[in-house]
């Protein structure tokens, strides 16, 4: 006899969406000097967030966290101008995406995304037995018109879009996103991933409209706020949609450290502005390094720069491997049409300097 295994899970490959830098370091037996591949906040967290965690470690870590994340939701809802019941916190956008697929679709449903878009979303789609339907990028942008049309054609239950985009760093302005939302069949849920919203130009994020009953927007503390290791993100939308999360979510999924650090980070507006400027400066530096080496950087609104390497998939793979040999961790898009590029996260100045020194030798 053997225990029962869900047939959907049994049919899945034994993989994760992407290889972690730590796994590469273990395989190589040495640590990276420049960690420029995971789109983290390399500049670290706000001092107020660090201090809040230290206090919590001393006084509160023995407790179970507030399962409603009330004070964090309160701190988020006020600047957004939305009620508390329109917002839910979760263990990063990744955890919230899994809940969304589980709540708003059923096995066999078709779910539309761009070919080469954020792989963790695809991971959840497959894990719950849904069918992924993809649309190619157009000029390195997610093709909003084609996504809306495809979702209608295949009778999809939902569409996933990230704006600004991962892995290409491109973006649409808020008017284009609003027009896309209007064009989508109101019976199809739109997942709008705004993980890089803090680093995007003004006007990228459309106004909040809680009357839109088929839109859930996602944001995170992992990028500009430098709290990726704590796993805290949030979703907001019409209360009728958000309330469903409470039926299935892990109610202790956003721990005490994450809650207090995120609240303190929200109050550190001057620190955030400084960090966003450092990210913008880093993007310019990476773009200049690419251009000086005969490569073509793609304009980015994120905390990374995707670089067209001018060759094919194999050429880009050799660049990623060669940089790893020189203690520099980067990643690359994997889908056809994008896989001739590499993606370099904004890091600290010394990390960018190492890239500048090593890339010419590699090429």
Q: What is the pLDDT of residues 102-130, one digit of tens each?
A: 999 999 999 999 999 999 999 999 999 99
Residue 135 pLDDT greater than 60, yes or no:
yes
Residues 6+ apart with CB under 8 A from 277: none
Residue 1 pLDDT greater than 70, yes or no:
no
Share of the chain above pLDDT 70, in %: 100
Sorting pLDDT into bands at 50, 70 and 90, what band is 18?
Answer: confident
* DSSP single-letter state for residue 90: E
- Look-up: residue for tokens 């989508």? 184
Sorting pLDDT into bands at 50, 70 and 90, what band is 48?
Answer: very high
**CA–CA distance, 51 with 289 (Å, rounded to integer):** 36
Specify the pTM.
0.95
Sorting pLDDT into bands at 50, 70 and 90, what band is 171?
Answer: very high
Residue 332's closest CA among 344, 350, 349?
A: 344
> Token pair of 51, please?
């201090």
Residues 6+ apart with CB under 8 A from 355: 34, 36, 286, 289, 323, 328, 344
Give burial (CB, 10 Å; 0-12/13-18/19+) of 320. Answer: middle
Residue 42 pLDDT greater than 70, yes or no:
yes
């Amino acid at each position: 006899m053997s225990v029962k295994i869900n047939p959907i899970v049994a049919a899945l490959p034994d993989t994760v969406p992407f290889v972690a830098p730590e796994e590469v370091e273990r395989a190589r037996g040495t640590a990276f000097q420049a960690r420029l591949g995971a789109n983290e906040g390399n500049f670290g967290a706000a001092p107020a967030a660090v201090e809040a965690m230290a206090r919590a470690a001393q006084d509160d870590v023995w407790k179970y966290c507030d399962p409603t994340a009330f004070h964090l939701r309160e701190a988020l809802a006020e600047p957004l101008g939305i009620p508390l019941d329109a917002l839910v916190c979760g263990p990063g956008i990744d955890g919230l995406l899994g809940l969304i697929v589980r709540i708003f679709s059923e096995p066999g449903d078709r779910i539309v995304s761009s070919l080469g878009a954020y792989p963790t979303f695809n991971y959840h789609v497959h894990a719950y037995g849904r069918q992924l339907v993809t649309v190619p990028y157009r000029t390195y942008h997610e093709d909003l018109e084609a996504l809306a049309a495809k979702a209608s054609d295949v009778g999809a239950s939902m569409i996933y879009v990230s704006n600004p985009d991962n892995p290409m760093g491109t973006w649409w302005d808020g008017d284009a996103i609003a027009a896309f939302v209007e064009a989508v069949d109101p019976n199809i849920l739109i997942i709008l991933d705004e993980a890089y919203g803090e680093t995007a130009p003004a006007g990228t994020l459309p106004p909040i409209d809680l009357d839109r009953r088929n839109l859930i927007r996602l944001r995170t503390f992992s990028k500009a706020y430098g709290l990726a290791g704590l796993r805290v993100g949030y979703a907001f939308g019409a209360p009728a949609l958000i309330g469903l999360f409470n039926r299935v979510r892990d109610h202790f999924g956003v721990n005490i450290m994450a809650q207090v650090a995120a609240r303190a980070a929200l109050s550190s507006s001057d620190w955030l502005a400084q960090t966003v400027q450092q990210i913008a400066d880093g993007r310019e530096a990476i773009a200049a390094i690419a251009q000086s080496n005969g490569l073509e950087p793609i304009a980015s609104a994120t905390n990374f720069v995707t670089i067209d390497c001018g060759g094919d998939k194999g050429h880009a793979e050799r660049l990623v491997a060669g940089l790893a040999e020189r203690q520099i961790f980067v990643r690359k898009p994997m889908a056809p049409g994008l896989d001739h590029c590499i993606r370099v996260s904004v890091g600290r100045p010394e990390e960018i300097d190492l890239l500048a020194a090593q890339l010419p030798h590699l090429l």
